[in-house]
Amino acid sequence: GAVVSQHPSWVICKSGTSVKIECRSLDFQATTMFWYRQFPKQSLMLMATSNEGSKATYEQGVEKDKFLINHASLTLSTLTVTSAHPEDSSFYICSARARTTYYEQYFGPGTRLTVT
Amino acid sequence: QKEVEQNSGPLSVPEGAIASLNCTYSDRGSQSFFWYRQYSGKSPELIMSIYSNGDKEDGRFTAQLNKASQYVSLLIRDSQPSDSATYLCAVKDYGQNFVFGPGTRLSVLP
């Protein structure tokens, strides 16, 4: 149980275009999902917390107009990187929080974005 | 600001030995504690969770929690080369805040 999927697993796009990444909890309902970014050899950086049916909460320094998050249902959250630039190239990972007593987070496999 | 600290490593242990990974946290109100394993180029995988003081064992893994000392550790017995990865400590408070440490890189030498 507690499987989280992400799509696509990798994507290459041209500078200035937008890319959408989907995150799905496959076998549990997730009222809260998290989006992280990880650069090579660095630790996870939380970008935003996404609650179903409400606006996402962004971490300081993360542009909400550039990284659009939609949490449309209890099993799906999407991250859209708008007007992508090469510096947005990174490993984007979502996680979903289980509705259990201790609220474990389960991670998706990640999406590797390369902006050329 | 709530902080979770880990030695970045690398921690090198010979195959078959016990690997000991440590984590300290700053928020005394922290409620839940987790250990994740992350292989290079992959996303983190939850391997242990612990909520009360003492030890919790799961196969070759043992998590130890000491809330008074604000310290949580992970022991890996009979370490295998396949255990070589970065181990992330994560701490959750009463709310939604979930703070990750920077991770400790473990290398198990055959």
DSSP secondary structure of A15-42: TT--EEEEEEESSS--SEEEEEEE-TTS
Look at B44 and A32 and tell me if their CB atoms are within 8 Å: no
Q: What is the pLDDT of residue A102?
A: 67
Look at B49 and A104 and tell me if their CB atoms are within 8 Å: yes
Which residues 82-101 of chain A have a CB within 8 Å of chain B? 91, 93, 97
Nearest beta carbon to residue A102 from set B32, B36, B101: B32
Q: What is the pLDDT of residue B21?
A: 97
Q: Is the pLDDT of residue A89 over 90?
A: yes
Q: A60: which residues sit within 8 A by CB, 6+ positions away?
A: none
pLDDT digits (tens, 9 = 90+) for B25-40: 999 988 899 999 999 9
**CB-CB contact of A73 with A17 (8 Å):** no
**CB-CB contact of A70 with A89 (8 Å):** no
- How far apart are the CA of A107 and the nearest CA of chain B, in angstroms? 6
Backbone CA torsion sign across B25, A23, A47, A72: negative
Q: Is the pLDDT of residue A74 over 90?
A: no
Q: Is the pLDDT of residue B91 over 90?
A: yes
Which residues from B are below 8 Å from A97, CB to CB? 96, 98
For residues B41-65, average pLDDT: 95
- How far apart CA B4 and CA B90 sit, in angstroms, is 7
pLDDT band at A1 (very low <50, low <70, confident <90, very high): low
Closest CA to A76 of A35, A25, A37, A36: A25
Closest chain B residue to A102 measured between Cα atoms?
B32
Look at B96 and A105 and tell me if their CB atoms are within 8 Å: no
| B50, two tokens | 């612990």
